Amino acid sequence: MFGVPISHVLIVSTALFFIGAYGFLTRTHLIMVLMSMELMLNSTCLNFIIFNKYLFPGTQDGLLFTLFIITIAAAEAAIAIAIILNLYRNFQSVSPEETTTLKY
Amino acid sequence: MHQIIFYTISAMLLISGILTVTTLKFFRAAVYLLATLVLTAGIYFMMAFNFIAIVQIVIYVGGIVVLILFSILLTSTPGAKVDKPKWKNLLSGLLVSLAGLFITSYVFTGYVFKTIKTGPENMQVKSIGMQLLNIKSSGYLLPFELITLLLLVAMISSITIAVGEHKKPELIKTAPLSDTIDKILEEINSENNLDKPASEEIDDKTALKK
């Protein structure tokens, strides 16, 4: 059918997840951190779809979980952007290094 | 043929993902993120998951990326650059991601998956909906209801966070109509009172002149 072994597809999704993790650890702007998180969630969705396709064809459980993950990602992005806008109003910057009111 | 298309798509996917987390400009990062999400939808299309590919394009590309672009526009000037990451963060990020990648791929390449080969099945949207709203075996009604609650809570809380503490309490209080009419009448009266002394002064001045 698809002609590609499962390990190659899994390597793609794993690489995408750790690219997102790298961005999450190194970015200096909160919106960029949010984008890295979207990448990680996206690779998780891809993983669910891959296992549904290769190991359990004929069922739809992975697909439904992907739907739930996409919904949660949308809700999380909306709340995170509201928080970022509020931070920008209070601190005039959205760098995680400069918003240090809750530190110590 | 399928293999060539798949390897091309996944190479472009990884390149645009790497560019998303390494570019220093906001708009470019958002556009690379958009490319990554669309290419992921392409992989879903190749695996014959048409419904989830359409959902991915509609919600991720049409919703989340546009939201991120709006927030970028609201919090920074166009063409602005992000600061470069510190050496310490860069080193730890590289270490964590490369070690995680190698360990995870080592684990699952050593495992033999029992893949089942079937022909391309055409998945009906009706059966997805039936399973989503089913309370019997392998039904997903409870998570579905929880997700609807979560969306409601997210909507309310994001509105509260983004708006809150900026409206002054005096603006929220609305006086009844009779009070405002009384205030207007008082103002008119006070204006008249102010006019009277002014006219008296003028009268005094004219009297002095006389």
Residue A14 lies inside a defined structural domain of this protein: yes
Query: In whole numbers, what is the pLDDT of chain B averaged over residues?
Result: 82
Could you report the per-residue pLDDT of B117-143, keeping only the tens digit for each?
766 666 678 888 888 888 887 788 998
What pLDDT does B183 receive?
80
Q: What is the ipTM of this complex?
A: 0.91
Residues of chain A predicted below pLDDT 70: 1-2, 104
Task: For residue B208, name the pLDDT band (cuts at 50, 70, 90).
Answer: low
What pLDDT does B121 receive?
64
What pLDDT does B98 receive?
94
Q: Under DSSP, is residue B82 helix (H, G, I), strand (E, B) or coil?
A: coil
Query: Nearest C-alpha of chain B: how many angstroms from A30?
Result: 10
Q: Is B12 on the interface with A (CB under 8 A)?
A: no
What pLDDT does B158 receive?
87
What pLDDT does B175 receive?
59
Instruction: Name the residue among B101, B99, B95 with its Cα closest to residue A17.
Output: B101
A63, A71, A78 member nearest B52 (Cβ): A63
Measured distance CA(B55)–CA(B61) in Å, rounded: 9
Q: Measured between alpha carbons, how far is residue B190 from residues B175, B181, B194 in Å?
A: 21, 14, 6
Task: For residue B150, name the pLDDT band (cuts at 50, 70, 90).
Answer: very high
Could you report the per-residue pLDDT of B22-46, keeping only the tens digit for each?
988 888 999 999 999 999 999 999 8
**Cβ within 8 Å, pair A4-B47:** no
Could you report the per-residue pLDDT of B58-95, keeping only the tens digit for each?
998 888 999 999 888 888 777 778 778 888 889 999 99
B55 interaction partners in chain A (CB closer than 8 Å):
67, 70
Whether residue B148 contacts residue A31, with contact meaning beta carbons closer than 8 Å, is answered with no
Residue A58 lies inside a defined structural domain of this protein: yes
Q: Measured between alpha carbons, how far is residue A13 from residues A18, A43, B6, B115 in Å?
A: 9, 5, 13, 18
Whether residue A25 contacts residue B88, with contact meaning beta carbons closer than 8 Å, is answered with no
Task: For residue B205, name the pLDDT band (cuts at 50, 70, 90).
Answer: low
Domain interval for residue A75:
6-91
| Domain extents in chain B | 126-166, 174-210
In chain A, how many domains are there? 1
Could you report the per-residue pLDDT of B187-201, keeping only the tens digit for each?
787 776 655 555 555
Whether residue A41 contacts residue A69, with contact meaning beta carbons closer than 8 Å, is answered with yes
The residue in chain B having the minimum alpha-carbon distance to the alpha carbon of residue A43 is B40
Find where tokens 């609201």 sit: B74
Residue B184 has pLDDT above 60, yes or no: yes
Q: Is B104 on the interface with A (CB under 8 A)?
A: yes
Query: Nearest C-alpha of chain A: how many angstroms from B146?
Result: 10
What pLDDT does A90 receive?
80
Residue A99 lies inside a defined structural domain of this protein: no
Q: Measured between alpha carbons, how far is residue B57 from residues A71, A80, B52, B195 in Å?
A: 13, 21, 9, 69
Measured distance CA(B134)–CA(A60) in Å, rounded: 13
User: Which of B163 and B96 is assigned the larger pLDDT?
Assistant: B96
Query: Nearest C-alpha of chain A: how many angstroms from B166?
Result: 10
Measured distance CA(B134)–CA(B142) in Å, rounded: 9
Q: What is the CATH number of the domain that holds A47?
A: 1.10.287.3510
CA angle B146, B147, B151 (to 5 degrees): 120
Share of chain B above pLDDT 70, in %: 81
Measured distance CA(B68)–CA(A39) in Å, rounded: 13
